[in-house]
């Protein structure tokens, strides 16, 4: 039976996380975790859900950009196949006038990603599979057809991508079974927000280890003396065997990053994340060469081209994909293939609102059908706001459990949307009234 996308809704959803300093870091001291949220509805009653993650102000800008894409989707046949999803991705990212706003970066590109991800949610639901299984069941040829290879062919050709996928094809079923039985390794960030006091940091770090995590992460970058003290407290709390990554959230220039990490190196940080501008490929390479700690980046990398250059320049030890920063599932497949070509492990960025729910699917697909490995790979986990989703991420004993429900785990509860809609939802009305009084 034919099915058409007949409805397109966009919501500005925000959570007042700044009240408890959840999510606070060196560049973002008071975030309100937010989602520019889109719902695709079909004439048969099916729904696809997607979103962009922001941290408050500007969420309305992303929501407006998503709304501008409605004509490309409304009235279109509901996507079901790789061909449908490749065509939609192409149409959303190749409109010449909208593309001028990037090209292929920034608010318009993120908006395209929200719609693309909603389409994947819809297609996987129609197939009766979670997105990671839906992707993992596709042939190498179908997966390659999803990727836009423009600007990539000097680093990765379609034939090379096919070879990577064919090499991983044996054992797909066994790896999928391992995921269902064992899950996927996670690391914990919720202990390390920069706004937390020392006692809370120590308590949460110990709790994370007790809960089975073998890696935690601390935010750094405002005051070196504070960071030395905090990292010392964390190391004493978790012991020598637990990895502690640190994250500067783009705070430093190159020389400052090198100096700062040389001072923190005695505490054996596992990686330094976003030491400088996400656009500065050569800066990342210089930081990597100038001090002993491994380098990770990616949550703010705008597109597949910058990831390509980071890998070509030998600038990163870990690639951190983000499910909602680039143009959705399709572009993230390109990045996974690039990382596999260069032999660099992918450790996705998550947290925020809904990012854990989304990116677990991409990491699990990578294990089953691309890299074939979980070695050295972990997915970030932040224990906030999962209760607002109908199929929340589940982490047990430091491992993500494989999602079993059809779709992309992206559907937010209707009551959460109603309560947190900005600025007229009751949560925000109450907050405004409190300020007014």
Tokens for 10, please give them: 């966009």
Residue 217 near residue 189 (C-beta atoms within 8 A): yes
* Residue spans of alpha helices (H) in 149-211: 158-168, 172-182, 198-210
Q: Could you tell me which of 176, 258, 259, 191 has the C-alpha nearest to residue 230?
A: 191
Q: Could you tell me which of 223, 246, 224, 248 has the C-alpha nearest to residue 235?
A: 246
To the query of whether residue 388 is one of the catalytic residues in this protein, the response is no
Q: Could you tell me which of 377, 361, 419, 422 has the C-alpha nearest to residue 186?
A: 377
3-state secondary structure of 18: helix
DSSP 4: B
Active-site position among 219, 308, 386, 388: 219
To the query of whether residue 349 is one of the catalytic residues in this protein, the response is yes
How deeply is 203 buried, as exposed, middle or buried, from its count of CB atoms within 10 A (0-12, 13-18, 19+)? Answer: middle
The β-bridge relationship of strands 399-400 and 184-192 is: antiparallel
The C-alpha atoms of residue 9 and residue 75 are separated, in whole angstroms, by 14
Q: Which H or E run contains 66?
A: helix 59-67
Q: Could you tell me which of 388, 386, 368 has the C-alpha nearest to residue 377?
A: 368
Active-site position among 125, 188, 341, 349: 349
Tokens for 206, please give them: 């110990």
Residue that has been written with the tokens 């990012």 in this structure: 355
Residues involved in catalysis:
219, 349
């Amino acid at each position: 039976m034919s099915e058409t996308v007949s409805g397109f809704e966009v919501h500005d959803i925000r959570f007042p996380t700044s009240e408890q300093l959840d999510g606070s870091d060196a560049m973002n001291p008071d975030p309100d975790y937010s989602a520019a949220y889109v719902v695709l509805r079909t004439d048969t009653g099916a729904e696809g859900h997607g979103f962009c993650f922001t941290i408050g102000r500007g969420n309305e800008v992303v929501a407006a950009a998503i709304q501008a894409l409605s004509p490309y989707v409304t009235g279109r046949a509901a996507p079901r196949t790789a061909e449908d999803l490749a065509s939609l991705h192409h149409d959303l990212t190749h409109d010449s006038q909208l593309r001028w706003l990037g090209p292929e970066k920034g608010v318009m590109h993120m908006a395209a990603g929200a719609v693309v991800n909603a389409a994947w949610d819809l297609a996987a639901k129609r197939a009766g599979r979670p997105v990671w299984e839906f992707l993992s069941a596709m042939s190498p040829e179908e997966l390659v057809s999803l990727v836009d290879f423009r600007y990539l062919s000097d680093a990765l050709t379609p034939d090379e991508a096919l070879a990577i996928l064919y090499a991983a094809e044996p054992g797909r079923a066994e790896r999928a079974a391992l995921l269902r039985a064992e899950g996927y390794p996670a690391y914990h960030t919720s202990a390390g927000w920069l706004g937390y006091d020392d006692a809370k940091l120590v308590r949460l770090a110990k709790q994370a280890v007790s809960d089975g995590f073998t890696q935690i992460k601390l935010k750094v970058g405002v005051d070196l003396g504070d960071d030395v003290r905090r990292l010392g407290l964390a190391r004493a709390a978790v012991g020598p065997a637990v990895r502690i990554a640190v994250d500067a959230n783009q705070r430093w220039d190159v020389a400052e990053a090198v100096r700062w990490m040389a001072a923190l190196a005695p505490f054996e940080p596992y990686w330094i994340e976003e030491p400088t501008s996400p656009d500065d490929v050569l800066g990342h390479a210089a930081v990597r060469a100038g001090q002993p700690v491994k380098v990770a980046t990616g949550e703010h990398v705008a597109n597949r081209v910058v990831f390509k250059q980071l890998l070509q320049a030998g600038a990163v030890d870990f690639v951190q994909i983000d499910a909602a920063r680039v143009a959705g599932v399709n572009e993230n497949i390109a990045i996974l293939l690039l990382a596999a070509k260069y032999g660099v492990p992918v450790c996705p960025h998550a947290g925020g609102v809904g990012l854990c729910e989304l990116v677990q699917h991409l990491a699990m697909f990578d294990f089953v059908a691309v890299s074939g490995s979980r070695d050295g790979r972990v997915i970030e986990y932040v224990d906030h706001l999962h209760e607002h989703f109908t199929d929340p991420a589940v982490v047990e004993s430091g491992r993500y459990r494989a999602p079993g429900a059809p779709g992309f785990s992206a559907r937010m509860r209707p009551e959460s949307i109603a309560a947190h809609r900005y600025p007229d939802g009751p949560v925000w009305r109450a907050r405004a009234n409190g300020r007014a009084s």
